[in-house]
């Protein structure tokens, strides 16, 4: 029971080093210099909130710029806003981020999943209103941060727009779902009694009522234009929570669903949609001023490249075409530096891990084992591609071959077939040697009887022998047990590579059509 109470008011506090885990004090992004300004804001309860404001070094004509406040999840911190900064800064939209009270490096003892956090958000908005460098204000929240944004947006109609990523609709309903999903050892008939106990315990420790965290009621009185986002395989806050809020929401709204779970990295098309959404609503001024040439990446810290040159000419069409991919590369670089904070259910039982968490761990193991010693190339039209071009291809358009030296890299279709055939032959020979070794063990006393029975037993369910080789059966041996028949000369292997064609058309144009001015019509 104490685990669920801690899930609400005392989840693991995110630990990070501002000098290492935040974006640098000055950095280059898409040819412009930006800066990070660290500051402190005091909330109404007297807690000191650690904050950061990302903005251009030079504002256009010293005009105030729109600002989006990024609100992290219940186990998160302001370092989680780095991806949002990469997405929105090139559009002349500044990013303000904070550690909520009870989170990260800020003061406060407890987390309240949005109840007290909305007061933290109010203190930040009041600071930005008096700063003089901010025009319109938007909110971008994830998980607990999405609930906080919605609850505050209903109280402050001056908020221009909100992005709500995986909010919950009702905290009590969420708790009951988590008991079932994560197999907490509570009898079904005691769950409601347990929640009543939790309500009293949370009320006593953190001074708020968990039954008041109902965002469906809030959605019925909020008119701020909103974009919902939710992962389809989220088993922590399931997608129907966003759907219920969306149905009840009275203001202008839209919703996007994407692959992944609660903690998955968000896809690029989702970031593109958010960028267009905020650009249409906040109306930032056009990007003007000097740009700088960056031939390798699109994100640099100050001092990381000493030979940087200023360009007086506008970027070429080739440079412009690299922009979408460069944003994705910069986000990936930030994720490698510090991954997004994860929201976990506290549990001492390893069996309580969700299936999505297990799958993500498996995928990380696979990627870590293959990324260092794999070379990729395109097979779509048979033309060879050098290894460094693999990053420009879609994941479903190229395959990976394990090679020890670059000299083994295939340069035509014949060499590709030879390499694959050699791999198949080597596997067959290894299997033959292994089977022969097993036949020498004393425990295998009925080997000949088993071999004789295999073909008749599998004749109805398995295909017939191919050049004397039966799948699933031990290879035949000669009269001399140490001599193994080489089946490689009589074995054929056919390899078929299927590549899915990428969606035709300009994705950005499609998004622009999706988010035209007709988006904000009454529904």
- pLDDT value of position 482: 46
Closest among 160, 168, 166, 262 to 215, alpha carbons compared: 168
pLDDT digits (tens, 9 = 90+) for 48-73: 999 999 999 988 777 899 999 999 99
pLDDT digits (tens, 9 = 90+) for 223-238: 999 999 999 999 999 9
Which three-class secondary structure state does DSSP give residue 78?
helix
Q: 146 with 229: CB under 8 angstroms?
A: no
Closest among 349, 348, 410 to 375, alpha carbons compared: 410
- pLDDT value of position 3: 72
- pLDDT value of position 177: 87
CA distance linking residue 69 with residue 141, whole number of Å: 8
Dmax (CA) of the chain: 93
User: For the packed helices 117-131 and 144-155, what is the interaxial angle rounded to 10 degrees?
Assistant: 60
- pLDDT value of position 5: 82
Residue 202 has pLDDT above 50, yes or no: yes
- pLDDT value of position 395: 40
pLDDT digits (tens, 9 = 90+) for 280-291: 999 999 876 555
Q: How confident is the model at residue 413 (pLDDT cuts 50, 70, 90)?
A: low
CA distance linking residue 352 with residue 56, whole number of Å: 45
Q: Domains of the chain by range and CATH?
A: 1-285 (3.40.50.1820)
Mean pLDDT, residues 100-115 taken together: 96
Using a pLDDT cut of 70, give the percent of the chain over it. Answer: 56
Residue 176 has pLDDT above 60, yes or no: yes
Mean pLDDT, residues 345-369 taken together: 46
Residue 309 has pLDDT above 60, yes or no: no
CA distance linking residue 436 with residue 223, whole number of Å: 75
**Angle at CA of residue 272, ends 269 and 278, nearest 5°:** 145
256: left (phi over 0), alpha (psi -120 to 50) or beta: beta
Contacts for 283 with CB less than 8 Å, ≥ 6 apart? 66, 136
> Strands 65-71 and 94-98, how do they pair?
parallel
**Angle at CA of residue 337, ends 334 and 341, nearest 5°:** 85
Q: 67 with 91: CB under 8 angstroms?
A: no
Q: 10 with 110: CB under 8 angstroms?
A: yes
| 123-137, 190-204, 321-335, 436-450: range with highest mean pLDDT | 123-137
Task: Tell me the pLDDT of the chain averaged across its residues.
Answer: 73
Q: Which residue has the higher pLDDT, 301 or 470?
A: 301
Q: 95 with 89: CB under 8 angstroms?
A: yes
Q: Which residue has the higher pLDDT, 239 or 350?
A: 239
CA distance linking residue 385 with residue 379, whole number of Å: 9
Residue 461 exposed, middle or buried by CB count within 10 Å (0-12, 13-18, 19+): exposed
CA distance linking residue 142 with residue 274, whole number of Å: 13
Closest among 218, 223, 298 to 253, alpha carbons compared: 223
CA distance linking residue 106 with residue 391, whole number of Å: 39
DSSP at 314 = P
* Phi, psi for residue 292 in degrees, rounded to 5: -125, 145
DSSP at 521 = S
CA distance linking residue 3 with residue 393, whole number of Å: 45
- pLDDT value of position 55: 96
Q: 88 with 68: CB under 8 angstroms?
A: yes
């Amino acid at each position: 029971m104490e685990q669920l109470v801690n899930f609400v008011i005392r989840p693991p506090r995110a630990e990070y080093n501002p000098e290492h885990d935040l974006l640098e004090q000055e950095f280059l992004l898409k040819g412009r210099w930006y800066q990070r300004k660290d500051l402190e804001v005091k909330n109404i309860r007297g807690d000191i909130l650690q904050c950061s404001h990302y903005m251009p070094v030079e504002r256009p004509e010293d005009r105030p710029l729109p600002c989006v406040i990024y609100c992290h999840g219940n186990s998160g911190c302001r370092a989680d806003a780095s991806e949002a900064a990469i997405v929105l800064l090139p559009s002349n939209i500044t990013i303000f981020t904070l550690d909520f009270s009870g989170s990260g490096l800020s003061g406060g003892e407890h987390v309240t999943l949005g109840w007290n956090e909305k007061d933290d958000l109010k203190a930040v908005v009041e600071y930005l209103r008096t700063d003089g460098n901010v025009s319109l204000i938007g909110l971008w929240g994830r998980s607990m941060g999405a609930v906080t944004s919605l609850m505050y947006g209903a109280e402050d109609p001056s908020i221009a727009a909100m992005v709500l990523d995986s909010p919950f609709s009702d905290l009590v309903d969420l708790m009951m779902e988590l008991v079932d999903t994560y197999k907490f050892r509570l009898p079904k008939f005691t769950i409601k009694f347990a929640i009543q106990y939790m309500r009293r315990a949370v009320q006593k420790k953190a001074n708020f009522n968990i039954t008041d965290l109902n965002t469906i009621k809030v959605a019925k009185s909020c008119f701020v234009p909103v974009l919902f986002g939710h992962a389809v395989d989220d088993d922590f806050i399931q997608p129907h929570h966003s759907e219920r809020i969306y149905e009840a929401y009275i203001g202008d709204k839209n919703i996007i669903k994407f692959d992944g779970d609660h903690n998955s990295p968000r896809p690029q098309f989702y970031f593109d949609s958010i960028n267009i959404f905020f650009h249409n609503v906040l109306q930032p001024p056009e990007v003007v001023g000097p740009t700088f040439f960056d031939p390798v990446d699109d994100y640099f810290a100050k001092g990381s490249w000493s030979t940087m040159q200023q360009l007086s000419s506008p970027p070429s069409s080739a440079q412009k075409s690299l922009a979408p991919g460069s944003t994705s590369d910069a986000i990936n670089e930030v994720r490698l530096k510090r991954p997004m904070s994860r929201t976990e259910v506290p549990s001492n039982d390893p069996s309580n891990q969700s299936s999505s968490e297990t799958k993500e761990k498996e995928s990380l193991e696979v990627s870590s084992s293959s990324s260092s010693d794999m070379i990729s190339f395109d097979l779509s039209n048979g033309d060879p591609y050098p290894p460094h071009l693999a990053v420009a291809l879609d994941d479903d358009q190229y395959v990976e071959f394990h090679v020890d030296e670059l000299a083994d890299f295939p340069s035509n279709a014949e060499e590709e077939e030879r390499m694959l055939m050699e791999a198949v032959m080597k596997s067959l020979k290894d299997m033959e040697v292994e089977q022969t070794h097993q036949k020498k063990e004393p425990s295998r006393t009925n080997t000949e009887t088993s071999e004789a029975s295999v073909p008749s037993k599998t004749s109805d369910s398995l295909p017939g022998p191919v050049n004397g080789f039966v799948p699933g059966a031990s290879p035949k041996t000669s009269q001399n047990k140490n001599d193994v028949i080489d089946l490689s000369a009589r074995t054929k292997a056919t390899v078929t590579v299927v590549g899915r064609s990428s969606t035709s058309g300009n994705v950005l144009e499609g998004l622009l059509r999706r988010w035209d001015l007709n988006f904000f019509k009454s529904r």
